[in-house]
A and B are shown apart, each in its own frame.
Chain A
């Protein structure tokens, strides 16, 4: 092991490291971490799910067998073209292969019946359903309370076989890729490339890439690396997309060498000759260099898209997408937020209703008060008038009494006078008699 480097490398600066990496004066040992990771990954084993889609007779099974140098498809386990169904089915087969101590559980998913019917509308539906189904399984497994080792059955890569017409993509091709490019890594391949001459092939490739761009189809893109060499290598691959492949199950002897190829009267088309076809590039890319990246893109991009869509639907009831942008919370947090909003709304409504109510009550009370004051006024008025009347009566009574008294006094006087006159008269009368 070499001693620690003491220079900051460009990669660090670009990665925006906050503190300067400490210069370690002697060997600590965590440079051994990658080995530990290596060891553990070998122990765990690997999984990969590869989907092959294309019309029957395009050489899919042969290519798979050639890629993995094994009889995945055999007379006992026939390829999709030999299992034509009435409707498009999605079927999978699992094989366990070992190499150099590394165990790989390979799942091959194929679609017998794809594109073979007279009416092929919606033939990609069973494929999308399958892929979504696997995403959903993973989502459920990931979201369980008791999680266990989660098998990764998600489709990591889809090899799409294009018929070597030499002209361009067929409508079915574009439709399929458009339906699936956001769910799975699509690698388009030109099948049976040994029917095209190099010039025809180049033309065909250009045409296909043009149509792919026009239709805004996102095929699998290679990751950026800081390594210059790697980038050159990647660029070479990109220039040869889509890869034109030839597959073969037979081994033929050419110039004393045993190679896989197709024997024609005019020569042998060798599978592993990069001047004959792009098979080697495909194999290197798919298996030797980018297999892990395909899995990572599936996990970090396609699966996450599915998941956030699914959870957003569940949270916002699929209806209102107004705060789709603010989806940085968990569904429960989202619900909590909604609850708070709702409570605030209710409170506001409550306050408004109370205000209105209060106003009405005030009005009513005011009216009552006014009535009462009115009543009081009238009562006072009435009292006053009655009092006035009483006073009047009193006055009158007094008057009457006065009159009465004076009259009575007068009468008494008259009486007295009368009495006196009578007495005097009597006296006179008595005198007369004499």
Chain B
């Protein structure tokens, strides 16, 4: 109701006025619609289910066209997602349809990680949208929205209960995407078995806390049909693109020896219900829920991770500018700190090396001194030896002198003796 939106600013006075004639703003919804028709719509379906469970056939049946599809083998190494985009048109309405297939789901022996590629794909689409939304120069109005609007989960028609892989996968996906569980190849289950199967599945989902998509009941125009359809979940579907003649009509059906299963016969399967809910009644609501609930949740978590908050430590609301400015300050401070660190490290290194060099210099100097002293010592020794030698020489010379003087005086004595 417009009133709820308007209540947001109920602190302002709003007057209810009556009009004195036809003003013409009742054309506003038409203006809006014609704008969206010109722009075109886009819708993204994710099909999760084991290989061979009938995903591609169901898509072909739903959209009444043969999308190119190679059959997948059972020997994939892991699960990978294969998105394909098609441009469809129906009476002036253009739809950009993307069908994402999970190839290899349920084929591995160890299926622990099977859900991961799916969750990653969904998150990547959210991330791409978020990045576009955060850009400084952005163009959201012609952005090709690749976010998954609906996940059709194909349950194998065992007739007993959900497989643990199903529960695990759906639990991981229910907060990220709208899930509609469907029972595939429903022509292998009888009516009574089907009824029990459906009850079992729904109770298992409830007891495991899996949130599947509920068709909205808040709009009077569609609440009735939506609430009655909610009771038929999960839809038991049969897909077929082959045409079989029944009576005087040609219908899409599967021909068995024991009869013909007509796809569009409501007493044979829930295909018509699925088509009605998915495409004709709630397509827009699915898009809205994806944007307003799942995407917002992703965005909120991502922003909180990045450190954004709505209020500062004093619980005062922060404006975007303040948040960015604070972040920028932090960022610049961080850069400056890094620069300082680098400089500091460098200065230390220089100091160290300088100290080393000084040490080396000192060593060299010491060596030099040491050598000098050694030389002086040697010199001194040499000098001493020289002096010694001098001394000896002098002594010898003196002896020589003495000897000579003696020999000179001796001959006199001899003469004296002779005279006698």
Distance in Å from the Cβ of B30 to the closest Cβ of chain A? 7
Alpha-carbon gap, A238 to B409, bound state (A): 160
Q: What residues of A have a CB within 8 angstroms of the CB of B21 in the complex?
A: 69
Alpha-carbon gap, A357 to B91, bound state (A): 77
Binds B, one of A43-51, A120-128, A212-220: A43-51
A41 x B32 contact (CB < 8 A): yes
Which of B4, B135, B136 has the most CB atoms of chain A within a 10 A radius of its CB?
A: B136
Contact A70 to B18, CB < 8 A, known contacts A314-B328, A411-B403: yes
A146: contacting residue among B33, B67, B300, B385, CB under 8 A: B300
Contact A45 to B95, CB < 8 A, known contacts A70-B19, A382-B375: no
Alpha-carbon gap, A37 to B310, bound state (A): 32
Alpha-carbon gap, A100 to B244, bound state (A): 47
Binds A, one of B35-43, B48-56, B75-83, B118-126: B35-43
Interface size of B by Cβ–Cβ distance < 8 Å? 124
Contact A283 to B24, CB < 8 A, known contacts A37-B36, A365-B357: yes
The chain B residue sitting closest to A347, CB to CB, is B342
Alpha-carbon gap, A327 to B134, bound state (A): 11
A28 x B389 contact (CB < 8 A): no
Alpha-carbon gap, A349 to B282, bound state (A): 61
Q: What residues of B have a CB within 8 angstroms of the CB of A283 in the complex?
A: 23-24
Q: What residues of B have a CB within 8 angstroms of the CB of A70 in the complex?
A: 17-20, 23
A371 at the interface (CB under 8 A from B): yes
Q: What residues of B have a CB within 8 angstroms of the CB of A225 in the complex?
A: 38
Contact A102 to B29, CB < 8 A, known contacts A70-B17, A418-B410: yes
B2 x A331 contact (CB < 8 A): no
B25 x A364 contact (CB < 8 A): no
Q: What residues of A have a CB within 8 angstroms of the CB of B346 in the complex?
A: 350, 353-354, 357
Q: What residues of B have a CB within 8 angstroms of the CB of A221 in the complex?
A: none
Residue-wise interface mask of A (289-328) relative to B, using a CB-CB cutoff of 8 A (1 in contact, 0 not): 1111100100110001001101110110100000000011
B283: contacting residue among A36, A72, A95, A327, CB under 8 A: A36
A95 x B29 contact (CB < 8 A): no
A145 x B279 contact (CB < 8 A): no
B296 at the interface (CB under 8 A from A): yes
Contact A330 to B134, CB < 8 A, known contacts A1-B91, A99-B23, A104-B28: yes
A328 x B357 contact (CB < 8 A): no
Total number of residue pairs linking A and B with CB closer than 8 Å: 357
Q: What residues of B have a CB within 8 angstroms of the CB of A145 in the complex?
A: 299-300, 303-304, 308-310
B364 at the interface (CB under 8 A from A): yes
Distance in Å from the Cβ of A23 to the closest Cβ of chain B? 7
Q: What residues of A have a CB within 8 angstroms of the CB of B375 in the complex?
A: 379, 382, 386
B324: contacting residue among A69, A284, A304, A331, CB under 8 A: A331
Q: What residues of B have a CB within 8 angstroms of the CB of A38 in the complex?
A: 29-30, 32-33
Distance in Å from the Cβ of A312 to the closest Cβ of chain B? 6
Contact A330 to B136, CB < 8 A, known contacts A69-B23, A147-B296, A389-B382: yes
Alpha-carbon gap, A22 to B324, bound state (A): 46
Q: What residues of B have a CB within 8 angstroms of the CB of A136 in the complex?
A: 319, 321
Secondary structure dominating the interface of B: helix
Q: What residues of A have a CB within 8 angstroms of the CB of B63 in the complex?
A: 22, 24, 28
B89 x A5 contact (CB < 8 A): yes
Alpha-carbon gap, A151 to B3, bound state (A): 12
Contact A72 to B28, CB < 8 A, known contacts A145-B304, A329-B135: no
The chain B residue sitting closest to A289, CB to CB, is B31
A24 x B64 contact (CB < 8 A): yes
* Those of A98-128 within 8 Å (CB) of chain B: 98-105
B321 x A314 contact (CB < 8 A): yes
Alpha-carbon gap, A195 to B1, bound state (A): 45
Q: What residues of A have a CB within 8 angstroms of the CB of B335 in the complex?
A: 339, 342
Alpha-carbon gap, A43 to B4, bound state (A): 10
B93 at the interface (CB under 8 A from A): yes
Q: What residues of A have a CB within 8 angstroms of the CB of B112 in the complex?
A: none
B87 x A144 contact (CB < 8 A): no
Q: What residues of A have a CB within 8 angstroms of the CB of B5 in the complex?
A: 44-45, 47, 105, 149, 151
B111 at the interface (CB under 8 A from A): no
B8: contacting residue among A22, A151, A226, A287, CB under 8 A: A151
A4: contacting residue among B15, B91, B131, B219, CB under 8 A: B91
Q: What residues of B have a CB within 8 angstroms of the CB of A207 in the complex?
A: none
Q: What residues of B have a CB within 8 angstroms of the CB of A311 in the complex?
A: 136, 324
B316 at the interface (CB under 8 A from A): no
Q: What residues of B have a CB within 8 angstroms of the CB of A100 in the complex?
A: 26
Q: What residues of A have a CB within 8 angstroms of the CB of B245 in the complex?
A: none
Alpha-carbon gap, A300 to B141, bound state (A): 7
A37: contacting residue among B88, B284, B339, CB under 8 A: B284
The chain A residue sitting closest to B356, CB to CB, is A361
A167 at the interface (CB under 8 A from B): no
Which of B32, B40, B131, B285 has the most CB atoms of chain A within a 10 A radius of its CB?
A: B32
Residue-wise interface mask of B (88-130) relative to A, using a CB-CB cutoff of 8 A (1 in contact, 0 not): 1111111100000000000000000000000000000000000
B419 at the interface (CB under 8 A from A): no
Residue-wise interface mask of A (9-21) relative to B, using a CB-CB cutoff of 8 A (1 in contact, 0 not): 0001001011111
B412 at the interface (CB under 8 A from A): no
B360 x A368 contact (CB < 8 A): yes
A400 x B87 contact (CB < 8 A): no
B368 x A28 contact (CB < 8 A): no
Contact A28 to B279, CB < 8 A, known contacts A97-B23, A101-B26: yes
A140 at the interface (CB under 8 A from B): yes
| Selected A-B contacts with CB under 8 Å, 14 pairs | A22-B63, A28-B64, A37-B36, A69-B19, A72-B17, A95-B16, A95-B17, A100-B26, A102-B26, A296-B35, A327-B135, A339-B331, A365-B360, A378-B371
Given contacts A45-B2, A429-B417, 18 further A-B contacts (CB under 8 A): A1-B91, A24-B65, A28-B90, A31-B93, A70-B18, A96-B6, A99-B22, A103-B1, A105-B2, A105-B6, A287-B24, A288-B24, A310-B320, A330-B135, A335-B328, A382-B371, A397-B392, A407-B400
Residues of B within 8 A of A (CB): 1-6, 8-9, 12-33, 35-38, 40-41, 43, 62-65, 67, 85-95, 131, 134-139, 141, 219, 221-222, 275-276, 279-285, 288, 296, 299-300, 303-304, 306, 308-310, 319-321, 323-325, 327-328, 331, 334-335, 338-339, 342, 346, 349-350, 353, 357, 360-361, 364, 367-368, 371, 375, 378-379, 382, 385-386, 389, 392-393, 396, 400, 403, 407, 410, 414, 417
Query: Which 6 A-B pairs give the minimum distances between C-beta atoms?
Result: A45-B2, A330-B134, A100-B26, A103-B2, A292-B31, A36-B284
